Homo-oligomer: A and B are copies of this chain.
Amino acid sequence: MKGLGIAGGTGLAYGAMSTLGLAPSAAAPNRSFRPLRAGDLIGTVTGNHSVVVLGGGPAGLCSAYELRKAGYKVTVLEARTRPGGRVWTVRGGTEETDLNGETQKCTFSDGHFFNLGATRIPQHHITLDYCRELGVQIEAFGNQNANTFVNYTSDTSVSGQSVTYRAAKADTFGYVSELLHKATNQGSLDQVLTREDKDALSEFLRGFGDLSDDGRYLGSSRRGYDSEPRAGLNFGTPKKPFSLRDVIQGGLGRNFNFEFEHDQAMLMFTPVGGMDRIYYAFADAVGSDNIVYGAEVTSMRNVSDGVTVEYTVNGARKAITADFAICTIPPHLVRRLQNNLPSDVLSALKGALPASSGKLAIEYSRRWWEIEDRIYGGASNTDKDISQIMFPWNSFHSDRGVVVAYYSSGRRQEGFESLSHRQRLAKALAEGSEIHGDKYLRDISSSFSGSWRRTKYSEAPWISWVGGGSELKAPTPEFTKLLDPVEKIYFAGDNLTNSIGWQHGALWSARDAVTRIHERVAQQS
């Protein structure tokens, strides 16, 4: 395990501590913790300072972990009996009763699982730094795949056809290149392109589109083969391209952007054994003495000597008062707590609107996607309600595997929310088999589903801000309001960043809250 060395900037917020006179101490007061490292929170607190952390998901556990490093007494209250919150890995033995009242028990085989919440980490996210620091092993996550399918409805002859990504890309890039090459050649863009621009553009387009000498797209080996090349004179039978009209009007390229997005571009990663490994590691580092599982918070109030939080554990009423609270409970659930928050804060909390998202996973006793479709990870995409089918990025060539039969959001998920698991499975199989064929219906061992709106303690996969959505371009008034502490209460979570729905946001928000508490304590002492 190594220190958290976040390139170019962790020190920005954290290192500022040193200017407050908190020089690094030679030994940290909590001997069970590693000493602070360069770039981490600098200096340990003097005297006894306590923080109660509401919620044991990414923001809560990261807060507790960093506070403990700096010498604070910390208590984490987590309603569930596990760490991680919306980072939820479902495996054999997982049991859950949803807000529809239905109980599911997962019976996946040993070593097989799926992440019902967060499942992937881009390279630039701080989540990977914590994996490094905590010794959580990672592996590549297949976020895109040339061999998975697109299947969309359109007013063309490719409507409802399953087309590999490789073919969809070859045809789309082929025709786009041909069209731009033609326009450029006939002088249509001479107002904006010089002769040198045109020559360089032509060279790029010929390569990018695999164009013929006279600038036409006539198909490409990039599409793949009906019969693969083998030995001797068997040079394979290349697949024939679709027509320009089918490709463009069929919208075969409608999801290509996904893989260029800042947070989705390959290579992507995930912890070996499930995303929750990160939070079990955090929980180990925080220490079981400092985490109360099964603790349902009922009230949170600023009081004269700090913050008092009331909660129940197995029906017993308890209370704790600490100098500060970090509240990572989702904003739409904070409003339900008994509280003495001022009215402008309560109004701001209403600015967070619960989104909708969910997944259903099937364990198959035969990896037909590898054997028959030559798919080793990645996802097929569709405009059906299932939205996508995600293939396992692990356990290659084993006897069985878990396929995420849908991961849908918004309107397309809402249709699944009120269904029973059996009904969800039936819909997933009906739509999925239209994409991957009848083999999709065979060799099914078991399945499990979850809809975040119907999941207790979360009731949303993420929130969107009134007037800003879930991909904020700029802070909204409600968002900005909640960044300020309410006396000794600090809100934290992915919702208070513009990485909503990402662990990166939750972890940075936690670090931000810890830094601000630490600064305040330093200034007081």
A269 at the interface (CB under 8 A from B): yes
Point out residues on A near B: beta carbons under 8 Å: 2, 5, 7-9, 13, 123-124, 128, 131-132, 137-140, 142, 144-147, 166, 169-170, 172-173, 176, 179-180, 182-184, 186, 188-189, 192-194, 196-197, 200-201, 203-205, 207-208, 210, 221-222, 224-225, 227-236, 244-245, 248-249, 251, 253-254, 256-257, 260-262, 265-267, 269, 370-378, 393, 396-397, 399, 472, 474-475, 480, 483, 496-499, 505, 508-509, 511-512
The answer on a CB contact under 8 Å between B512 and A269 is no
CB pair B200–A249 under 8 Å, yes or no, is yes
C-alpha gap A261/B220 in the complex (Å): 9
Give every chain B residue within 8 A of A266 (Cβ-Cβ). 142, 144-146, 266
Question: Known: A189-B182, A189-B183, A267-B146. Is A197-B512 also a contact (CB below 8 A)?
Answer: no
CA separation between A374 and B126, bound complex, in Å? 10
User: Closest 4 CB pairs between A and B?
Assistant: A188-B188, A146-B265, A231-B512, A183-B183
Could you tell me if B262 and A224 are in contact, using CB atoms closer than 8 angstroms? yes
- Docked-complex contact A166 and B265, CB < 8 angstroms: yes
Contacts of A505 in B (CB 8 A): 231
Residue on B nearest A399 in the bound complex, by CB? B2
Residues on B with C-beta less than 8 A from A192 are 179, 182, 244
Q: Are B142 and A267 closer than 8 Å at their CB atoms?
A: yes
Establish whether residues B170 and A260, one from each chain, have CB atoms under 8 Å apart when the complex forms: yes
Task: Please state if A257 and B497 are interface contacts (CB–CB under 8 Å).
Answer: no
Known A257-B208, A265-B222; contact A498-B248, beta-carbon cutoff 8 A: no
Task: Write 24 A-B pairs (CB below 8 A) sorted by A numbering.
Answer: A123-B374, A123-B375, A124-B147, A124-B228, A140-B142, A145-B266, A176-B176, A179-B180, A179-B192, A179-B201, A188-B189, A197-B248, A200-B251, A204-B254, A207-B254, A207-B256, A208-B253, A208-B257, A221-B262, A230-B508, A232-B483, A232-B497, A234-B497, A269-B376
Q: Nearest Cβ distance between residue A439 and chain B, in whole angstroms?
A: 11
